[in-house]
Every structure is written in C-alpha cells, then in structure tokens.
A and B are shown apart, each in its own frame.
Chain A
Amino acid sequence: MPSLKDLKNRIASVKSTRKITKAMQMVAAAKLRRAQDAAEQARPYAERFNAVMAGLAQSVGGSDSAPRLLSGTGSDKVQLLVVMTSERGLCGGFNSNIVKLARTRAEKLLGEGKTVKILTVGKKGRDQLKRDYAKLFVGHIDLGEVKRVGYVDAQGIAKDVLSRFDAGEFDVATIFYSKFHNVVSQEPTARQIVPAAFEMTGEAGASSLYDYEPDEEAILADLLPRGVATQVFTALLENGASEQGARMSAMDNATRNAGDMIDRLTIVYNRSRQAAITKELIEIISGAEAL
C-alpha cells in the first residue's frame, strides 16, 4: 500500500503530465490549421498540373520516343521506396502506420526476388526501419531544420530521386506518406512517382484539342521532373496535416487518460486518508475504554 505522501506525489506528477499533453494538443491544433491551409492553397496547382499532365501523357504515352520518366526503364527489378515520416514523435500511430505499409511492401518485393532500396525522409521512419533494413538504405533526407515545408524542400527531394534515376539506380519509385482525411483518420498511402503515373480525370480527353508550344514531347520532358516535385510536395503537405491531426488526437487521449488516472488516484488517496483517521480514532477510543 503506497503511503499518503507517495500518492500525493503521484497525483502531482500526473497533473503536470496532463498540463503538458493539453498544451501539446492545443499547439497541434493550431499547427493543424496552418498545415491544412497550406494543403488547401497548394491544391489548385497540383490539380491543374495533374489534369494537364494526364492529357499529355495520354497523347504521347504510346509512342516509342516518350521520355523515360514516363515510359519507365522497361523493368521493375530495382524498387526505390521513399518513406516519408515526421521528425518528431508523440503523434500516435502516425509514423508506425506509414512504416508498416512500407514494410509490407518491402517484404512483398523481396519475396518476389526484387531489389529494394529505401530512402527515408524524416527521422522517425529512419529509426524504425533501420532495425530490419539497414542494408537496404541508400539515403536519408533530414527536414529537422525546416520549420515550415515549402516547395523548395519538395524540389530537393525530387532532385535527389531523379538524379538516382538518371544514374540508373532504380526502375520504379514509390512514395509512402499519410493521406489526411480528418483529425481522427489518416490513411497511409503508397503512390508511384517514377515512372510517372497520373490519375486520369474525366475531362482529360478534352486536352487533345490544345496546340502545344514547343511540341508535346518537349513540354512533357520539361514538365515531368516538375511533376515529381509536385507530387512530393503534395505528399509532404498531406503528411504535415496528418502528423498534426494524429498528434492532436493522441494528445487528446493522453489528456483524458491523465484525467481518469487523477480521479482514480484521488479516490485511493481520500480512502487511505479516511482509513488513517478512522484507525487513529479507534485507537483513541479503545485506549479510553481500557482505562
């Protein structure tokens, strides 16, 4: 049975933990709003870009002279997995979910006898994957110093990936990130970025009406690398919002659990205090009766 003093200390410590988690929840809420705003602002660009690229890819895709970024190397032997996670922890299952998806994919590819290479963005994913796949690592991109992800960060990542592709280091690249649905639901997602795959939209067919200047293939060659950067940027923003959302709900749970714990401990504390008082009374009364 813990002493009254112990209980009192314990309650105080849980109370301060609750204060911290509460503060973190509020900070995450504020950051989430900013991250959502950023994602919202970036949407028109990404959508337009994809629509135009889908149309272009459709019209050029069939020809032999299509850029390698679009048609691929004709093989899928070497797979690059770009795992994007956060730099900080305390955000529930956010990082683990992304890593789990990447791990499943890696196991499947290894089982098929393919070569897997892993590039991580964000410290948390690297730490988790390092245990099992240290041999497969080809690089890590640190965003720890970045306060607010910008397009330049995405460009940096895209540049890294593309230079590896040009050097013939891999055939297919897939990014792993978490798609933001709402505060309580984020969905780990895998998306192939090289060779480029664009989601076909209903209106893509209409773009065949356009004139192109310079010709379609030159435009495509110019825009494909930007397309990779755009997709990476979208993924970074979704990831940012998901991270804050996950942290917010994780911290909300933590705050509630701390509250429950305080209630339970307080009951135990009050009971033991009462028991001690009762015991003292009995001692006094039985002492008086003995006289």
Chain B
Amino acid sequence: MRNNTTGFWYVVKSLLSGLRLTWSHFRKANKRRTPEYVSDANYFKQDDGLVTLKYPYEAIPVPDNGRYRLHNEIDDCIVCDLCAKICPVNCITIDSVKATEDIGTTSDGTKKRLYAPTFDIDMAKCCYCGLCTTVCPTDCLTMTPVYDFSEVDIKNMVYHFTDLSPEQAEEKKQLFAKQQEEMAAAKAAALAARKKG
C-alpha cells in the first residue's frame, strides 16, 4: 500500500466514491437553478440541482444597458442621418423627403421637418457598437433587451422603421416637388415683374 493509492481496498473505495458522486447528483435532480441575474444574492449560492436553463421558456435577465437589437421610435426621429453617418459598418440606410410644412414635434420638443420614406437597419450587418444610439439627438434610436431574433431568410434581418407606405412617400415627394415648382414659379414671376418694372 504505497502512499495508500494502490491495492484492492483503495480501488474499491475509489470506485464507490465515484458512484456516490453520481448518486448524489442524481438525488438532487429535483432541484433546479433559478434564472437570476448575476447581481442577485442567490446567484452564486445554487450549488445543487440541474443547471440547464429551458431557454425559450426561461432566460437569464440581460443587463439594462446591454447592447442588443436596435429599435427606432420613428415618431421621435427627426431624420438627421447622424446614425447612418457614424455607423462603422453602414448598416443604417436612410432616405429623407423634405416636408412642405412642419410635421410636428418629437417628445422632447424638437421640430420635425423631414419624412423618412426609408429607415432600414440591417441587423445582420450591425456590429452592436452602440455609436448610433449615442449620437442620436432625440434619443429615438435605442438598444432593446431583445437578443434572440434569428431569421430563416436573411432579408428578414433588415428592419424597416418607416411609418410611410411607398405611396404616401411618393405623395410627399410630389407635394414637395410641387411646392418647389410653385416657389420657383412665384420666384420667376417676381423676377419677371421686377424686370418689367
């Protein structure tokens, strides 16, 4: 029995201790970890029981300021294009159409003067750096706690945030063009009147 790590009884003991270990885990299988956030006092105190999280049914809460899926609150958006400019991977595509008059104000009181016929964010390209949310002047572009949004078709990864249908967008465009024409006509008329006079 050198170092007490050889010999028949040592082997028997070690075999039994192995069985004891699996049995103790088996016995505690009625307990389960609760999905708690890491800051909860209980988080590191759940030594026993099943550790599996039944994911789609339960989930560990995510940090409040974590960086997950983007969301744009289009009602608050002034279509300033800052987010698209700062985006390092160019995943934000914005088209703007000038409005003929003030459309309204955002929730923080900024005047809205642009329509956004296109406000697309390609979440498949997004690198979750969060730069767009920091530059957003009206805080309408935010990160939500949603992280499970895989799609079968990659086209569905492009999120459309515009509140205008293509027809409406076309209408706004024509309205603006008409206004411009009218203004140009008025200007031309004024110019002609001045020449005459």
Co-complex (A, B): no
